[in-house]
Amino acid sequence: MSDQDFPADLVITGGQVVTHETIRPAAIAVKDGRIVAVGEEDAMPAARQTFDATGLHILPGAIDVHVHFRDPGYTHKEDFESGTAAAAFGGVTTVFDMPNTIPTVADAASLAEKHAIASAKAHVDYGLYAVLGEESLANVPALVEGGIIGFKLYMGNTFGRIPSPSTGAMLEAFEVVAPTGKRVSLHAETNSIMERRQSRLVEAGRTDALAHLASRPAVVAVEAVARAAILAEWTGARIHILHISSAAELGPLRDAKARGVDITGETGAHYLMLAAEEYGRWGGIIRVNPPVREAANQGPLWDALMDGTIDMIATDHAPHTPEEKTRTDIWTVDCGFPGVETQIPLMLTEVAAGRMALTDLVRWSAYNPAKVWGLYPRKGAIQSGADADLAFIDLDRRWTIDDAALQSRSKVSPWHGREVQGLPVHTMVRGRFVMKDRTLMVDTRGHGRSVHTIQDVGTPSPRHTDETLAAVVAHRPGEAA
């Protein structure tokens, strides 16, 4: 038979297939990057190649909806190649990249530039975020046209110092985006509260790492989540709360969900597993926005993931150099640390400890992100018709996290030295191994594609459309409608 005569390119045998619901032994057949059959090995179509996954669990590749790959503008911290290599090692097959690069992704030209960079360098699939703020409001149609996964709105200042819109501008922004059906992901920390506290702490001479936490108590996030939910409810805009860090935020999130607001949320491993007690040990290395908080927050965050209040996990992969992370004055330390490579092993360690099931991990890392952004069932599923985006996991493999061994250019994190159990050993994106036997496949640079082309946002439901700023400004009393 010639290659074309085979009904499948590849059949993967011997693995345990894990979905958001089940774990079962099954073979997977792949053709042209898509899954064409899942089931008994005997029932698989003839394939040009087979791959033996005996002893491994096969999960839908993770979709990390919050990474900062720094390209263009800060490529000394990371670029699209190193960032997506790190993703591949972390069992992550799709990433959503944040717009706080230079230039900020806020208009058609900067978006086109980032698309060119990502399509040339990415090992894994990606979606691109555009900034939603006063400066980019007029560009919303051009940004949607140019191919984005969604919008990012900075309610508070963080790395990149993108100005946070006033509540008035935010309402208008939600009015403009609601009819597009695109979700607005929110950095939900209220700027005026934390800026005021930070300047008082600076005046008082505080430069220690814990002063960062003191400047951003949970009320900063509580107020922001509640306010964002009110505006989303009014306008019908879909919103997503990034990096939920506190038990207190869960109140306004739960209330909004109960009222029927289209609101989703994520938390990350650093809020589930690190606590304020560790500021002394890590200093600026642990500085991140929002801050790692008191240990008492961890239990409620786990419970909220379990009961669905929090929909997913994401890394907020925020690479910086060791020099940028180890300055003595906390206010001069860049915020964030890498995570795209370590999240899945950290969570697998919790699976090994019995805190959660492997199916929970798939729900939080792949299935729910795919559903929320309209990528399901092309992404986040192992079934016929889905992209063959697969993470091959060895549940027994142990690793001591070593910053120096990370693919990321950022060789500094508060995970350094931590023992984990469970590791992705191969990662496949649309039928091609991008990482195999813990080795990067260099020829898959540029294999990654933007997922906005497969996104289905469904029917938007904007509300109060006769009261939007655009509607009232256009209104001429006395003239016929």
Instruction: Give the residues lining the site for ligand NCD (CB under 6 A).
Output: 68, 100, 158-160, 187, 288-289, 316, 318, 335-336
The alpha carbons of the chain give a radius of gyration, in whole angstroms, of 22
For residue 138, what are its two tokens?
Answer: 């007029």
For residue 409, what are its two tokens?
Answer: 């250019």
Q: How far is the CB of 293 from ligand NCD (least distance, A)?
A: 14
For residue 229, what are its two tokens?
Answer: 């939910």
Pairing of strands 312-313, 16-18: unpaired
Please, which residue, 90 or 422, has the CB nearer to ligand NCD? 90
Q: What does 101 interact with, of ligand NCD, Zn ion, none (CB < 5 to 8 A by kind)? A: none
Please, which residue, 268 or 283, has the CB nearer to Zn ion? 268
Strands in 403-472 per DSSP E: 419-429, 432-436, 439-440
432 contributes a contact to Zn ion by CB under 5 A: no
Residue facing Zn ion at closest CB distance: 187
Please, which residue, 227 or 243, has the CB nearer to ligand NCD? 243
Instruction: Report CA dihedral (366, 369, 373, 377) to the nearest 10 degrees.
Output: 30
Distance CA 182, CA 5 (A): 42
Question: Which one of residues 57, 114, 187, 293 is an interface residue with Zn ion (CB under 5 A)?
Answer: 187
Beta bridge partners of 437: none
240 contributes a contact to Zn ion by CB under 5 A: no
Cα angle value 235/182/429 (rounded, 5°): 155
Q: What does 148 interact with, of Zn ion, ligand NCD, none (CB < 5 to 8 A by kind)? A: none
Distance of CA 160 to the CA centre of its chain: 18
152 contributes a contact to Zn ion by CB under 5 A: no
Q: Is the peptide bond before 290 cis (omega within 30 degrees of 0)?
A: yes
- Give the interface segment with Zn ion, choosing from 86-94, 207-215, 237-245, 470-478 (CB under 5 A): 237-245
Please, which residue, 68 or 227, has the CB nearer to ligand NCD? 68
Please, which residue, 192 or 461, has the CB nearer to ligand NCD? 192
Q: How far is the CB of 318 from ligand NCD (least distance, A)?
A: 3
Distance CA 133, CA 150 (A): 13
317 contributes a contact to Zn ion by CB under 5 A: no
Q: What does 318 interact with, of ligand NCD, Zn ion, none (CB < 5 to 8 A by kind)? A: ligand NCD
Q: How far is the CB of 320 from ligand NCD (least distance, A)?
A: 7
Please, which residue, 28 or 288, has the CB nearer to Zn ion? 288
Q: How far is the CB of 63 from ligand NCD (least distance, A)?
A: 17
Please, which residue, 57 or 68, has the CB nearer to ligand NCD? 68
For the sheet with 419-429, list strands across it. 23-25, 16-18, 57-60, 390-400, 419-429, 432-436, 439-440
* Nearest CA among 317, 294, 207 for reference residue 248: 294
For residue 255, what are its two tokens?
Answer: 């209330």
Contact 228, 155 (CB under 8 A): yes
Q: How far is the CB of 156 from ligand NCD (least distance, A)?
A: 8
Give the binding site for Zn ion (CB under 5 A).
187, 242
